[in-house]
Amino acid sequence: MEPEKMLHSEEAQALAEQGQPPMPEEEEMQPLTWEITMARIRYALRTSAPYLGALGLLSTLLAYWLLTEVFKAPLFAKIPGPVAVADEWFSHHPMFGISIYSSVYYRHIWASCWRIIQAFLLATVLGVPLGLFMGWKKVFKDYTFPLFELLRPIPMLAWVPLAILMFPGYEASVIYVTFLGSFFVTTLNTLLGVESIDEAYFRAALCLGSKPRHLFFHVIVPGALPFIFTGLQISMGYAWFCLVAGEMIAGSYGLGYLIWNAYMEFQEPVLIIAMITLGFLGWFSSALIRILARRLMQWQVREMA
Amino acid sequence: MILSQTIGNDGKALAKKPAISSEATAGKISIRDVSIVYDPEGTHVVAVDSCSLEIPAGEFCVVVGPSGCGKTTLLNAIAGFHGVTSGEIYMDAELLCSAEKTAKPGADRIVVFQNGALFPWKTVLDNIIYGPLIQGKMDRKEAMAACHELLIQMGLSGISHRYPSEISGGMRRRVEIARAMMNDPKVLLLDEPFRAMDALTKTVVQKYLLDVYDVSNKTVFFITHDLDEAIFLGSRVIVVTSRPARVKKIINIEIPRPRDFRVLTSEYYRQLKEETLEAVHEEAQKAFEAGEREMA
Percent of chain B with pLDDT over 90: 15
Burial of B20: CB neighbours in 10 Å, binned 0-12, 13-18, 19+: middle
* Domains of chain A as residue ranges with CATH: 1-8+30-79 (no CATH), 84-298 (1.10.3720.10)
Question: In the prediction, which pLDDT does A3 show?
Answer: 45
Residue of B170, B169, B229, B153 whose CA lies nearest to B204: B170
How confident is the model over B157-186, as pLDDT tens digits? 888 889 998 888 889 989 999 999 999 899
Q: What's the rounded Cα separation, in Å, for the pair B241 and B222?
A: 16
Overall residue count recorded for chain B in this entry: 296
Judging contacts by C-beta atoms under 8 Å, the chain B residues touching residue A18 are: 145
Question: In the prediction, which pLDDT does A206 show?
Answer: 93
* Structure ipTM: 0.84
Please check whether residue B38 touches A, CB under 8 A.
no
CB contact under 8 A, A299 and B165: yes
Residue of A281, A235, A231 whose CA lies nearest to A256: A281
Mean pLDDT across chain A: 85
CB contact under 8 A, B140 and A10: yes
More confident residue, A62 or A29: A62
Which run of H or E residues covers position B29?
strand B29-38
Average pLDDT over residues A243-252: 85
Burial of B262: CB neighbours in 10 Å, binned 0-12, 13-18, 19+: exposed
Question: In the prediction, which pLDDT does B196 show?
Answer: 79
| C-alpha separations of B241 from A223, B48, B77 in Å | 38, 10, 18
The three-point CA angle B178-B183-B184 to 5° equals 95
CB atoms near residue A283 (< 10 Å)? 10
Please check whether residue A27 touches B, CB under 8 A.
no
> How far does B233 lie from chain A, in Å, by closest CA?
24
More confident residue, B68 or B193: B193
> How far does B110 lie from chain A, in Å, by closest CA?
5
Mean pLDDT across chain B: 82
Question: In the prediction, which pLDDT does A18 show?
Answer: 47
Give B 174-193 residues with CB within 8 A of chain A.
179, 183
State the amino acid at position B38 in one-letter form: Y
Question: In the prediction, which pLDDT does B40 show?
Answer: 65
Among A50-54, A190-194, A297-301, B113-117, which stretch is predicted with the lowest mean pLDDT? A297-301
Judging contacts by C-beta atoms under 8 Å, the chain A residues touching residue B193 are: none
pLDDT at A289 over 90: yes
Tell me the pLDDT band of A303, cut-offs 50, 70 and 90.
low
Question: In the prediction, which pLDDT does B41 show?
Answer: 67
Judging contacts by C-beta atoms under 8 Å, the chain B residues touching residue A206 are: 80, 105-106
Average pLDDT over residues A202-216: 92
Closest residue in chain A to residue B81, using alpha carbons only: A203
Span between the terminal Cα atoms of chain B, in Å: 50
How confident is the model over A77-125, as pLDDT tens digits? 888 888 888 888 888 888 888 888 888 899 999 999 999 999 999 999 9
Q: What's the rounded Cα separation, in Å, for the pair B158 and B151?
A: 8
CB contact under 8 A, B163 and A299: yes
Closest residue in chain B to residue A14, using alpha carbons only: B141
pLDDT at A251 over 80: no
Please check whether residue A207 touches B, CB under 8 A.
yes
Judging contacts by C-beta atoms under 8 Å, the chain A residues touching residue B183 are: 208-209
Among A171-180, B32-41, B78-87, B144-153, which stretch is predicted with the lowest mean pLDDT? B32-41
Of residues B109, B111, B145, nearest to A18 (C-beta): B145
> How far does A3 lie from chain B, in Å, by closest CA?
12
- Cα radius of gyration rounded to whole Å, chain B: 19
CB contact under 8 A, B141 and A223: no
DSSP track, B226-279: -HHHHHHH-SEEEEE-SSSB-EEEEEE----SS--GGGGGSHHHHHHHHHHHHH
More confident residue, A151 or A12: A151
Please check whether residue B42 touches A, CB under 8 A.
no
